[in-house]
Amino acid sequence: MSAHTGLRAVPVDDRAWLLAALDDALAGGAPVLPLPAGTDPGIDPEIARLQAQPLPEGTALVVRTSGSSGIPKAVALSAAALRASAAATHERLGGGRSADGADPAGSDDGADPAGSGGGQWLVALPGHLISGLQMLVRSRLAGTDPVFVDGPFDPAALLAAADRMQHPRRYVSLVPVQLARLLDLAEADPAAADALRGFAGVLVGGQATPLPLRQRAHELGVALRRSYGMTETAGGCVYDGVEIGDTRIRIRRSETGAGEVQIAGPCLALGYVGDPELTAERFIEERDRDGVVTRWYRTGDAGELLGGMLTVTGRVDRVVISGE
C-alpha cells in the first residue's frame, strides 16, 4: 500500500527543525526528507518530484542515496526499522565502557529507554545520510542530546567537542579516513589518546577498514567497532562481522557466480520511492515450507561467512563506491 503523507523537506543545518520533525516522524507523524546543509527546498526540482510521489505505507524517513551502484535512489524507511536499528546498536554497545572507565549499563535510574548501551552521540557525519541520521535517531530514543562537530573534519576539534558531552557513555561514528587522522593525533598526543579512549564505542564504516588501521586502534585501547550496513538496512546492521539485533545474513550465488550478501530483519527499508521495479528486484520475498514469508535485501556485495562471521570481499558487479 502507498499514500500521500506530506513529505517534509528539512535542511539538516536547521537542527531544531530537523530534530522536531524527526521526533514527529518516529511517533507516526509526517515523514521527513533530510536535505544537505544549505539546500533551498524550493529550488531543487527533485525535491518537488519526491514530495509528489506516493510513499510506502508507514514511511517515516526518505533518504536519498547513490548507494554502491552510482544510481540516485530515494529509500523509504519506517519508524519501526529505525527504532529496531537503534535498539540493536545500543544493545550491542552495552558492553563498552564509559568515559570515566565505569560501566553504567546496569544502572536502574530508568534513563536508558533505548537499551543498556544507550548514551550520547557525537555527530561528525552528514545528517542527510543514514550514517549521520542514525546517530540522531539513537539519541532521540536514548533521551540524550547529540553533540555536533561543524566544519571540515578536524581531529582536534572533534575531541574538543567531546568535552561538551555530559553522558557517561559517549559514542562516535566515523569513516576510515577520519579514524586514521584521529589515530595520527592520538599517537602523537597522550591527552588526545585519553580522550579517544573515553568513547564507549567508536563505530567505523562506510567502506572497508584496513587491518593496519584496526591494529593501531587496538594498540591505543580504542573501543573500535566495525560497522557494515547501508541506507536500505537503516544503517549498520553487522558489527565486527556479526549480526546485531534480529538481523539475519545469508550468502547466495549471483548470476556471475559470486556469493552475494543478502540481509533480512526488522531494519529493512520499505523500498524505493517511485521505483517499484527496483524495489521488487532488490527486496525479495521467500516462503519456507511452513508458509512463513521472509523478506531479503540483495545488497549487491560479494562476501562469505566463515565461522559465522561476515567478510565482504567486493561487489558482485565489480563496482565499488564508498559510503553507507
More confident residue, 40 or 13: 13
Quick one: pLDDT at residue 254? 62
| Structure confidence at residue 257 as a pLDDT band (50, 70, 90) | confident
The distance from CA 214 to its chain's CA centroid, rounded to whole angstroms, is 20
Contact assessment for residue 136 and residue 82, using Cβ atoms and an 8 Å cutoff: no
Element (H, E) at 73: strand 73-78
Note the pLDDT of residue 44. 81
Give the pLDDT of residue 256: 65
Q: Residue 197: what pLDDT?
A: 96
CB 118 within 8 A of CB 141: yes
pLDDT of residue 69: 60
Which pLDDT tens digit goes with each residue over 290-302? 889 999 999 999 9
Cell numbers 545469508 correspond to 250
Tell me which residue of 21, 80, 33 sits closest to 270, measured CA to CA.
80
Lowest mean pLDDT among 72-81, 105-114, 235-244: 105-114
Q: Which residue has the higher pLDDT, 237 or 38?
A: 237
Both ends of the chain: CA-CA distance in Å?
Answer: 28
